[in-house]
Structure 1
Amino acid sequence: MRRLAVILFAIISTTLMGVGIIVVLTMGLDTLRPILAGAATGLVLSIPVTYLVAKKIVSLN
C-alpha cells in the first residue's frame, strides 16, 4: 500500500495545492503569503486524502 500511496500522493498533492492556489487567487489575494498558504493548505490536506484513497483502492482487491 505504501508504494501506491506514494504514487497517489504525487498526483493528489499537486491537485489540491493547485486548488488551494486558485481559491486564494479568486478571493483577490495575489501576494506571495496567501498563495503559499493556499499551497501549504492543499499539501496538508492531501496527506489524509491520499491515505483514504489508497486504503479504498487496496480494499477493492
Structure 2
Amino acid sequence: MRFFIIILAIHALVMTVLMGVGITGVLAAGMVGARPILIAAAAGFVLALPVTWIVTRQILAKTAKG
C-alpha cells in the first residue's frame, strides 16, 4: 500500500514536469496547434510511468537500508 501511495505522489510530480517540458518544446518549435500540444502532453504522461517506477524503487531501496 505504501508503494502505491508513493507512486501516485511521485507520478504527479514527474508527469507535470515531463508534460511541461514537452509542451514548452513544442511551442518553442513554433507548433502552436492543439494536436502537437496534446501529443506532447500525452507523451509526457506515458514517459512519466517508467520514470516514476524507477525513481520510486530507488527511493524505497535507499530508505530501507537506512
Q: TM-score range by the shorter chain?
A: over 0.9
Moved over 3 A (4+): none
State which structure, 1 or 2, has the greater radius of gyration over its C-alpha atoms. Answer: 2
**Other-structure match for 1:16:** 18
Find the aligned partners of 2:15 and 2:35 in 1 and give their Cα distance.
19
Find the aligned partners of 1:40 and 1:52 in 2 and give their Cα distance.
20
Structure 1 counterpart of 2:5, from 3, 7, 20 = 3
Q: In the alignment, residue 49 of structure 2 is paired with which amino acid?
A: I
> Sequence identity, in percent?
41
**Other-structure match for 2:46:** 44
Q: Which runs of 5+ in 2 are unaligned?
A: none
Offset at residue 31 of structure 1 (A): 0.5
Q: CA RMSD in A?
A: 0.6
Find the aligned partners of 2:26 and 2:59 in 1 and give their Cα distance.
31
Q: Which runs of 5+ in 1 are unaligned?
A: none
TM, length-normalised to structure 2: 0.89
Aligned positions, number:
61
Encode CA deviations 1:23-48: one digit per residue, 9 max, x unaligned: 10111100000000010110000000
Aligned residue for 1:3, secondary structure, equals helix
